[in-house]
Amino acid sequence: MSERTQATKRSSEDAIVEAHAIYTPLSLSFYDFAVHGLSNRFVWMCPTSKIFGLYVRHLSPSHLEAAVGTGLFLDRAGRSFDRLVLLDINMNCLDFSARRLRRFDPECHEVNLLAPIGLAVPPFDSVSLTYVLHCLPGPISEKLVVVDHLKPLMADRAVLFGATILGRAVNPNGPARALFRLYNEKGVFNNLEDDLASLTEGLERRFTHVEIEQHGLVAIFHAR
């Protein structure tokens, strides 16, 4: 491997780590309040009820949650599951959400969604991908490889749904601009090139039915 290829590989591995290193037991204890309580409404200008609506409409009894974080939406959606599988690259997130969702007896897997997911399990009827695309490094065209990795885990008529914070061709307010700068510098977000058109195009290339709406800076989508 050339020095340049090695350096590129190292920097992309670093970027993947930076995108999730912030999720510690301490930060997860106030994540729901900071992100879904305050930021959605006042910074990203998208009420959390819009995201809850997605879960209420699309959750199935056989559900795969990709990049689970704290598991807030699964906890509060008022559904039960025959089978619930949680994926995340960060063990703190898996531990936190597994504890919170223990009444559903979830199965947890430590998985990098940017790499093929080697899970030999029957396919799911619903898969969600909420607030992770804006964290992942690279342009939308490369981030959407996560959808290619999730698709083999979807049954024929399954739905993929989720949300992501757009950083391009949007109109951020002062706090949003400040947080974009801070989070993108730290590598927690990588969304300054993410726009609705590329997300729509990428999803439409992979699914026959795509619905996508923008609320404030947030794109909310579902696809079959």
List contacts with ligand SAM (CB under 6 A). 16, 19-20, 23, 67-70, 72, 88-90, 93, 111-114, 130-132, 135-136
- Smallest distance, ligand SAM to C-beta of residue 207, A: 20
The answer to whether the CB of 104 falls within 8 A of the CB of 80 is yes
Taking the least distance from each CB to ligand SAM, the nearer of 141 and 208 is 141
Could you give the CA distance from residue 112 to residue 149 in angstroms, rounded to a whole number?
10
Taking the least distance from each CB to ligand SAM, the nearer of 139 and 204 is 139
- Smallest distance, ligand SAM to C-beta of residue 46, A: 12
Taking the least distance from each CB to ligand SAM, the nearer of 150 and 170 is 150
- Smallest distance, ligand SAM to C-beta of residue 134, A: 8
Taking the least distance from each CB to ligand SAM, the nearer of 60 and 70 is 70
Could you give the CA distance from residue 27 to residue 96 in angstroms, rounded to a whole number?
11
The answer to whether the CB of 223 falls within 8 A of the CB of 210 is yes
Taking the least distance from each CB to ligand SAM, the nearer of 10 and 204 is 10
- Smallest distance, ligand SAM to C-beta of residue 127, A: 12
Taking the least distance from each CB to ligand SAM, the nearer of 60 and 164 is 164
The answer to whether the CB of 218 falls within 8 A of the CB of 44 is yes
> Closest residue (Cβ) to ligand SAM?
69
Q: Is the dihedral of CA 91, 26, 135, 162 positive or negative?
A: positive
Could you give the CA distance from residue 217 to residue 45 in angstroms, rounded to a whole number?
6
- Smallest distance, ligand SAM to C-beta of residue 132, A: 4
Tokens encoding 83: 């089978």
The number of beta carbons lying within 10 Å of the beta carbon of residue 220 is: 19
- Smallest distance, ligand SAM to C-beta of residue 86, A: 10
List of residues 6+ apart from 67 with CB closer than 8 A: 87, 88, 89, 93, 113, 129, 130, 131, 132, 135
